[in-house]
Structure 1
Amino acid sequence: MLRTVLLTLLTLSIAIGGGAGSLYFVIKSAPPIGPVEAGPWIAFPDLGTTLADPYSRARFAREGGIPFGRAEGVVFTATQDSAGQALSRTCTYRVEGSMPSTRFWTLHASDMLGVPLPPLGRRPAALNSEVILHRPGNALVISVSPHPHPENWLPVTGQQAMQLVLTLLDTPVSAGFEITELALPEINRVNCDA
């Protein structure tokens, strides 16, 4: 009798512990399903919709995130430059090209966990469509660097890897336009500190 009870408790603890452990692993480390790529930029446009997989919804709930719905906007992240090299805070990059038509956009750098990098002195930690200097033809050039640059400069601090986060609000992309047909700015490495 006691042996049966102990074996039952052992079986239940292995099943519950294994199930909870595998669920934690999937929520913690598995990427969301359905990425869409546009150059070095990656988006998950279904995260805020009913089409999102349950693990992605659980991950966002666990992290306290609230994804945009399809009609609100879309968030693109880039962990590599246009040549496929990982982004580093010790390097200088030029984000150049034109933005898709959108009511408002923001660009900021964050660590690999998604935590925005701290501002450098009195410089803002992010840029947006209201403060950018445009070139002829609505083109833009943004320098992402630990060193000051003229015109549009997004300062970064630290030595580790980083990602760039581009948020487009109220854009045709969010209204069903194909993201794969979207032309987003390129990210070109200029140089790196030794």
Structure 2
Amino acid sequence: MDSAANYEFQPSFILGFHGCEEEVGMRILCEPEEHLKPSEKSYDWLGSGIYFWEGSVARAWEWARAYHAAGKIKKPFVLGAVIDLRHCLDMFDLGASEQARAAHAHLQGLMDSAGKPMPENKGSTPDKPARILDCAVMNTLHQIREERELPEYDSVRGAFLEGDPIYPGAGFRSHTHIQICVRKIACIKGYFKPINVQE
């Protein structure tokens, strides 16, 4: 392991928040053996895993309410989690960006050899919320590490620049957030119901 890899291990816990169906959240709180299920959708931009909003209970509530309004969940709920990121692919780090770039090139080679087009990020807004390309790149990155017998990542952390500028000329966007993708259940040290937050 090179010296830079030493810093891929995060030194402290974080709080993550997950919007979900109330029945699901309460079952996990009441049954110690229960866990959230990993998502494996083609647009999961950090790859397959369990997704959390880092430190933003309000954003998790907003997501849950939007899914309720769209008829995708019956009753919105937010589940909190204490997360140890452990061996983390942190997309704020230069080394992680370089790995993602190499994984993209590898994926491009595979698709070219198979005569297939590269996946694309899609959506009607500039942030392209359906991150099909990014998901494929992240999953390829993990596959490459497995094939080369390199240590697996337990989690992935990244910033999603989303929404409109919050004022004219702003570099800040209304819904920018940090998202966590937990790849190994052992990262989750416990779940909790956030206090003083009303539906």
Normalised by the size of structure 2, how large is the TM-score? 0.24
Q: In proportion to residue count, which structure has more helix?
A: 2
**TM-score (norm. length: structure 1):** 0.24
